[in-house]
Structure 1
Amino acid sequence: MLSVTDMMFSVIILSITVAVISSETRITKRDGETVTLQMNTSMIPIKDYLWTFGRDNPTTAITIVTKGEVTRVNGTGFEDRLSTHVATGSITISNLTINDSGVFLAQVFTATGILRQRFELTVLENSYIHLNVLEGTNVTLDPELTQLQKEHYVKWTWGPDYVGQLIAQWKNFSFSIEERFEGVVQLNPDTGSLTIIRVTQDLSGFYCVQVLLGQELYIVLKYSLTVYGPVSTPKVSTAKHSLNDKNCYLSCSEKNGLSVNLTWYEGEKIINQTCSKDISSNLTLLLVIKNQDEGIFSCVAANPVSKEAVTVNSTLWCPPHGADPNWMQWILVGGIVGGIVVVLGLISVINLCLCMPGNTEGAGDCLNLRDMVEGRPSEPNEASQGNNGSEDALLSNG
């Protein structure tokens, strides 16, 4: 049997003297999962091949097969986690770590040349996959399997780190859902994905899935699900201020909720913003509009999954606040003065009608009205007295 050094020397010589066929595959996995690097040798019988690994340059031998016999290479960090499939030339690495990220190179030696296959493996930290969803919608958690096989086992749990309450499981082409989650979730029998139906806020939390391929932990995923209610349309009103203040004030209010922000915009520019963790009280945000800032403004209420806005035109909402700051006082005084003028004008018209020449019947009323306006006491009407005396004389003569 060739030693590792002899095998590496043979690889170098063969690489120089014979034709090489190469291909490359990129694979992404997560910490704790299992990966199988599958060689494409279905049409070629293989007996001799070599696998090497390296961060950037795959120079470290990790497994050697000569005439169908495996030579175990120690000191690589893959010893107990690596399995060699002699017949296919593929290798499987279980319980991946982020340190397993790098380049794997398979070299198959044939009578006509060397078949090379290069695999670039990226192992991600198995942190939570964060999902924000709107209350009342459906959400699907996908374990990233295209088709379940008989060797697969799928287990979904609710709670952190795979030790929570069992939700559903799939094994040998049959599945079951725990009684508590019946009517709440659906399990796809083809892909193992879990769908939460019309999700509610009390279903926020951690969801974990473990997929085994035979005895190997093939896929492990953790989801952090946050369910938000829809925001309502904010309400805008004018705010009280001093008569001496030239500015205009608009107040925007919104019912508070989880991660709700209230923002005043002018176009796409943020003017001010507020939020509060105390969801028992409403959010209120003041907008100060100066004379030179008149224009179109919008108040936007938003959380990570929904948004509502109301637009205001300051020229319609605000008084002419760029004018004299005592404009309200002047309007009030002007109204009072105008009222007095109207009353006096009406009195003058009545007086004119009563005192027109030839209107002897209203002469007394004319004098009395003039006296009232001028503030004088009324005097006896001589014309009236004369008439009464004449009437008495006629009665006496009669």
Structure 2
Amino acid sequence: MFHMLVLFWLWYLIGVFGESVSVMEGDSVVLHTDVTEIHKNDDIQWIFGAENILIAEINTEVGFFNMSDVLDGRFRDRLKLNKQTGSLTITNITTQHSGDYKLEISGVKLSSKTFSVSVCRHLPIPVITSNSSQCSSSSSSSSSQQNCSLLCSVVNVSHVTLSWYKGNRLLSSISVSDLSISLSLPLEVEYQDKNTYSCVINNPISNQTLHLDISQLCHTCAEVHYCCGFTEALIRLVISALVGVAAVAVLVYDIKSTRGGDKKQIPYIL
């Protein structure tokens, strides 16, 4: 009797909570009925969403069909039914197909099952930028000279987590469930830090990792000022040279013009 109660409770939990399925956008997913063979007079229905929209059905008396034109054709040319088991395949799946799918079987025995399907987008590669404004000419604090402020960002993501790692140790993270236009996570490191840092974006299926190159993004204020001072000096030198060349050209032209005028004023003597 106890075992029967346990089995009933497990069956109840499966029926209520169902299975969670994660799939990448563009892939196919199969929702299994766990039925090896459909019996005579069995009726299998697949129902989608909170509105309980019938999207596919198998009835041994009238045959099988799918309702691909429902929901503005969202499932058109995407549904495949297994005639032997009643399992449902969704091909070329998109985020529009995320949601709950309910299986109802009636006939020899009654059973139901729910699948919670999450469709994940392909993840972008994170972008790491540094805050160069910390090295302004008025900055005099030692902390601004020793630390480098970084920002890891991604755009147009949903149901993801963005994290900073130092080696294999998680430093910080931020998550978003709905579609986000931009997701950013700051980090501050010392410019002489030799540790390995990486920014990771992940969802239940995949992840993208970008490793931080401190030497490329982080510079001391002295290095930035030296770089800027050298560039400024070079620009001034080029401008001075151009001005000098222009002045010489004007002077030469003026001298030639003066000599030409003098020759025209000399009288002709017979």
TM-score, normalised by the number of residues in structure 1: 0.48
Aligned counterpart for 2:22 among listed residues 132, 148, 151: 132
RMSD of the TM alignment (CA)?
A: 3.1
Aligned: 1:201 with 2:201? no
Seen in structure 2, the aligned counterparts of structure 1 residues 178 and 334 have a Cα distance that, compared at 3 Å, is closer
Give % identity: 26
* SS, match of residue 100 in structure 1: helix
**CA positional deviation for 1:192:** 0.6
* SS, match of residue 255 in structure 1: strand
Counterpart CA distance in 1 for 2:24 and 2:155 is: 17
Counterpart CA distance in 1 for 2:178 and 2:48 is: 28
* SS, match of residue 282 in structure 1: strand
Give CA deviations for 1:213-268 in whole Å, capped at 9, x if unaligned: 33x31x21011222221110111122121443110122211114221221111221
* SS, match of residue 315 in structure 1: helix
Q: Which amino acid aligns with 2:159?
A: S
2:206 alignment counterpart: 306
Counterpart CA distance in 2 for 1:231 and 1:333 is: 37
1:158 alignment counterpart: 48
Q: Please tell me whether the aligned partners of residues 294 and 315 of structure 1 are also in contact (alpha carbons under 8 angstroms).
A: no
2:262 alignment counterpart: none
Q: Please tell me whether the aligned partners of residues 133 and 225 of structure 1 are also in contact (alpha carbons under 8 angstroms).
A: yes
Give CA deviations for 1:318-371 in whole Å, capped at 9, x if unaligned: 22x4xxx65656x489969x99xxxxxxxxxxxxxxxxxxxxxxxxxxxxxxxx
Seen in structure 2, the aligned counterparts of structure 1 residues 231 and 247 have a Cα distance that, compared at 3 Å, is same
2:258 alignment counterpart: none
Aligned counterpart for 2:195 among listed residues 295, 318, 323: 295
2:32 alignment counterpart: 142
Aligned: 1:187 with 2:81? yes
Q: Please tell me whether the aligned partners of residues 100 and 123 of structure 1 are also in contact (alpha carbons under 8 angstroms).
A: no
Q: Greater CA radius of gyration, 1 or 2? A: 1
Q: Please tell me whether the aligned partners of residues 159 and 178 of structure 2 are also in contact (alpha carbons under 8 angstroms).
A: no
1:270 alignment counterpart: 170
Seen in structure 2, the aligned counterparts of structure 1 residues 258 and 154 have a Cα distance that, compared at 3 Å, is same
**CA positional deviation for 1:100:** 3.0
Counterpart CA distance in 2 for 1:131 and 1:208 is: 13
TM-score, normalised by the number of residues in structure 2: 0.69
- Which protein has the bigger helix share? 2
Task: Could you tell me which runs of 5 or more consecutive residues in structure 1 were left unpaired when the two chains were aligned.
Answer: 1-53, 57-98, 103-119, 340-398
Seen in structure 2, the aligned counterparts of structure 1 residues 221 and 198 have a Cα distance that, compared at 3 Å, is same
Aligned length: 217
Counterpart CA distance in 2 for 1:274 and 1:303 is: 12
Q: Please tell me whether the aligned partners of residues 261 and 275 of structure 1 are also in contact (alpha carbons under 8 angstroms).
A: yes
Aligned: 1:175 with 2:64? yes
Describe how 1:1-398 pairs up with structure 2 within 5 A: 54-55=1-2, 100-101=5-6, 122-125=10-13, 126=15, 127-160=17-50, 164-172=52-60, 174-180=63-69, 181-214=75-108, 216-217=109-110, 219-240=111-132, 241-242=134-135, 243=139, 244=141, 245=144, 246-276=146-176, 279-290=179-190, 293-319=193-219, 321=220, 331=226
Q: Please tell me whether the aligned partners of residues 22 and 118 of structure 2 are also in contact (alpha carbons under 8 angstroms).
A: yes
Counterpart CA distance in 2 for 1:201 and 1:315 is: 40
Counterpart CA distance in 2 for 1:158 and 1:327 is: 61
